[in-house]
Structure 1
Amino acid sequence: MSIVELFIVLAFIFLGARIGGIGIGLAGGAGVLVLCFGLGLDAGHIPVDVILIIMSVITAISAMQVAGGMDWLVDVAEKFLRKNPKRITFYAPIVTYLMTLLAGTGHTAFSTLPVIAEVAKGQGVRPSRPLSIAVVASQVAITACPISAAVVFFAGVLAPVGVGYIELLLICIPTTFVACMIGAFVANFMGCELKDDPVYLERLESGLIKQRTTTERRQISKHAKLSVGIFFIAIIAVVAYATVISPTVGLIHHAPIPRNEAIMSMMLGAAMLIVLLCKADASKISSAGTFKSGMSACVCVLGVAWLGDTFVAAHIGEIKEFAGGLLAQYPWMLAVTLFFASMLLYSQGATTAALMPAAVAIHVAPLTLVASFAAVSALFVLPTYPTLLAAVEMDDTGSTRIGKYVFNHPFFIPGVVSIVAAVALGFAFGSLII
């Protein structure tokens, strides 16, 4: 029966991936019904705290977006890229990485991709080089963002095994950033030079290449900087509070409010200040693009985490016996499993929620758990992720193109290199902290 149940879990995950969007969450809930009513399993645990944190964080981000903060951040990024055009392949991933780190969503890359493509083309640089690693960096940075759904959920999973929120960030931030720079180095040598690309030359001769001489100026709200400042201070407050109440630091032994609840209250408080001080229209927050994507993430985490926990809780003994020894002998297998799972689930948060609790349950070493975490960002493998497709569409030189064999696209090698480097650095650097 366990094989039948596993097949049902995988079938519903596959169905959700085929549906797309919040489909993985919908399919997860349906899978729970089949396992419980059809096969008699007990319903698993729902990660309520994580879902509430996502809602709180997304509300604050959406308030900042309504106040013009996102437009201001994009404007700053655009000015930075235009001032440093010759090293665009290295500066582009820095920009997308930092924007994801601050905003908690890789979709911020949408706004900078046209600028990256334009600046690269203007310098005669093959646009596929900076575009590919910029998209990868925007995805990998999720595993280092203090307020991302994946990090918040994973921190909760790690707490019982003695790894705190701060230790997780201390390992993930430097290792993922350095790994993305290694990926940028590799991307800088990929493909022929733009002037030698036959596809580019053909498109240039056909008049399909647009040469932009001016840039459209955004209308930046006078309260935009203040909204970003309020949100940034809230993030610092979250990290600082988590630090002082952590057992490692121990400055506050009896915290007046637990870490998860503190994140929720601080984010909601930041949203309130943005609405009041920045004159943001509260009625527009729920219709902001980031709010909609965040609520979709809540549904995805709810469905897939609930489905996964329902199966794992029912078969924890068999899972320990089968996978425990394998991962003890080959710890890197966890990273490989996360890599392929995220490739199908299209979500760092969903992949983390689906697999990390099971890994903890079978007593995988804490160092292996943390070092492998970056592997949940393999969203670039299949050329169907929104930011990847946007990069392809925004490069009118034709250098950022998807090959006929599906996997032979410019995002694949820089992405794999970045994740392999992040996992390797995680094992090396993590051993000094954990």
Structure 2
Amino acid sequence: MLIIEFAVVLMSIYLGARLGGIGIGFAGGMGVLALTLVLGLEPGTVPVDVILIIMSVIAAIASMQVAGGLHYLVEIAERILRRNPKQITFWAPVVTYVMTLLAGTGHTAFSTLPVIAEVSKDAGVRPSRPLSIAVIASQIAITASPISAAVVLLSGMLETSHSVDYLQLLAIAIPSTFLACMVGAFVAQRLGLELADDPIYQQRLKDGLVTTDSADKKELPVHAKRSVWIFLASIVAVVAYATAISPLVGLIEDPSLPRNEAIMVFMLSAATLIVMNCKINTAEIVNAATFKSGMSACVCVLGVAWLGDTFVSAHIDEIKELAGTILQQYSWMLAIILFFASMLLYSQAATTAALMPTAIALGVSPEAAIASFAAVSALFVLPTYPTLIAAVEMDDTGSTRIGQYVFNHPFMIPGLVTITASVCLGFLFAGVIL
């Protein structure tokens, strides 16, 4: 029966990967149906807190987007990139990393990718270099964002099992992932031919397929800046409150409002203030791109995490017997497991929810769990992730292209280097902080 049940899990994940997008969550739910009603397992735990946090954060971000806040952030990013065009391979990942860190979603990169492509082309820099590492940075920054569902989920597990504080997790994840992005940028800068020497670019230039005019500037909405300040203030409030109730600081003992609920409250309050102060129509929020992608993420986490917990909870003793000793002796193998799982699950939060509880139950140390956490960002391996596809489409020089062997695309090497560096640095920082 164990083999049959495991086959159901794998088939559900495979089906979800084939369906793509929100289909991963749909297939996960169908897998739970098969495991429970057909095979007789008890249903696992639904990650309600994670889903509610995603909904709350996305509500605030979508409100800011409707108010023009994301457009304002892109303008700031463009000014930064245009001041340093020759170093765009290093500045592009800084921009996408910071935006993802603040917003808790990598989809903010969509707005900056056209700017990166245009600036690098104007500076004579091969666009595939900054575009590839910028996409990688937008993905890995999820594992360091104080309001991302993946970070909140892992933090809750570690607090319960090892008394590792939310602030300790961020203190390890932020520097390790950021420095790793700089290592990835260093490598990306040396990949591929120079733009002037690329025959594909020269042919496209000859055929008139490469644009040279900058895109028309859109007028900044009146309350765009105000919406950004409100949103940033809410993030500061989240971190400040988490610090105040942290056992390491101890400013507030026995808080009436736990951290997860505080994140929801602050984010919903920020959305309310943006709607009121920026005079936006709430009906437009549900049509915002960030709102749609966020609600899709909720369904994905629901289906996949529920599926994984249903199977693992029923066979935790067998899993411990088979894999516990190996992971305890070779803790770095957790990063490899997370890496390949995230290739299929296409979500940092879903991968964390599906596999991290099992890893922690098997006795993986908190140092190994946090260091390996960045490996849930291997969304670049299969060249079908939305931001990756967008980067390919926005580079009309042809330098950011998918190779004939599918996996030989410009995101692969920078991604592998960045995740490897992050895991190594994570072990280093965790050894000092924990």
CA distance in 1, matches of 2:218, 2:140: 28
CA distance in 1, matches of 2:112, 2:259: 33
CA distance in 2, matches of 1:52, 1:108: 20
Contact 1:75 1:218 in 2 (8 A): no
Structure 1 equivalent of residue 192 of structure 2: 191
CA distance in 1, matches of 2:266, 2:146: 13
CA distance in 2, matches of 1:80, 1:369: 35
CA distance in 1, matches of 2:23, 2:358: 22
C-alpha deviation, 1:152, in angstroms: 1.3
Q: What SS does structure 1 have at the residue aligned with 2:227?
A: helix
CA distance in 2, matches of 1:101, 1:172: 11
- Superposed, which structure 2 residues align to 1:17-416 within 5 Å? 17-160=17-160, 161-212=162-213, 214-416=214-416
Stretches (4+) displaced over 6 A: none
CA distance in 1, matches of 2:353, 2:261: 19
CA distance in 2, matches of 1:215, 1:45: 48
CA distance in 2, matches of 1:57, 1:114: 25
C-alpha deviation, 1:215, in angstroms: 3.7
Contact 1:140 1:377 in 2 (8 A): yes
CA distance in 2, matches of 1:123, 1:67: 32
Contact 1:146 1:169 in 2 (8 A): yes
Across the aligned residues of Structure 1 and Structure 2, the Cα RMSD in angstroms comes to 0.9
C-alpha deviation, 1:98, in angstroms: 0.7
Structure 2 equivalent of residue 425 of structure 1: 425
Contact 2:327 2:362 in 1 (8 A): no
C-alpha deviation, 1:155, in angstroms: 1.2
* CA deviation map 1:368-399 (0-9, x unaligned): 00000000000011111111111111111111
CA distance in 1, matches of 2:210, 2:56: 43
Q: What SS does structure 2 have at the residue aligned with 1:209?
A: coil
Unaligned runs of 5+ in 2: none
The one-letter code of the counterpart of 2:226 is: L
The one-letter code of the counterpart of 1:329 is: Q
* CA deviation map 1:198-245 (0-9, x unaligned): 111111222221111x44112211211111111111111111111111
Contact 1:57 1:264 in 2 (8 A): yes
* CA deviation map 1:235-268 (0-9, x unaligned): 1111111111111211111102111111111111
CA distance in 2, matches of 1:254, 1:332: 36
CA distance in 1, matches of 2:203, 2:274: 50
* CA deviation map 1:99-152 (0-9, x unaligned): 111111111111111111111111111111111101100101111111111111
Residue identity over aligned pairs, in percent, reads 68
C-alpha deviation, 1:39, in angstroms: 1.0
> TM-score scaled to structure 1, two decimals?
0.98
Contact 1:28 1:307 in 2 (8 A): yes
Q: How many residues align?
A: 433
CA distance in 2, matches of 1:280, 1:143: 31
CA distance in 2, matches of 1:164, 1:280: 38
Unaligned runs of 5+ in 1: none
The one-letter code of the counterpart of 1:196 is: D
Q: What SS does structure 2 have at the residue aligned with 1:356?
A: helix
CA distance in 2, matches of 1:286, 1:392: 28
